[in-house]
Amino acid sequence: MVLRIEDFPADDVVKDLKAESPFDLLGLFQGIGLAHDQAVPETGRLPNTVFLYRRPILDYWAENEETLGAIVTHVLVHEIGHHFGLSDADMEEIEKRIG
């Protein structure tokens, strides 16, 4: 898995996810999660990637009471959780344990 920090999501990502603004997306998992992966890897397939979008995260932080660390942790748990095929309830439980 690759972790990338970008200032904003790409325009096509904003459009595909029907976001009103690039500031609506704090992070993104792109790839095939382990729960949906094939036993034999495909050649030429890009690695799974988690994106953190720096400017939307900083704007969210400026407008809310949460710490920057809590926001980044939430986004990472959520996006990496998609990689592992975790449910929202599983991800909430992980956040409670580490938070």
The tens-digit pLDDT sequence of the chain (99 residues) is 899 999 999 999 999 999 999 999 999 999 887 766 555 566 667 888 999 999 999 999 999 999 999 999 999 999 999 888 888 898 888 988 886
Structural domain that includes position 15 = 2-36+46-98
Residue 41 lies in a domain: no
Is 60 domain-assigned? yes
Query: What single-letter amino acid sits at 83?
Result: H
Across the beta sheet with 27-30, the strand order is 2-6, 49-53, 27-30
65, part of any domain:
yes
Residue 87 belongs to a domain: yes
Look at residue 36 and give its three-state secondary structure. Answer: helix
- pTM across the whole model: 0.83
Residues 6+ away with beta carbon under 8 Å from 86: 94
83 in any annotated domain: yes
* Structural domain count of the chain: 1
Confirm whether 64 is domain-assigned: yes
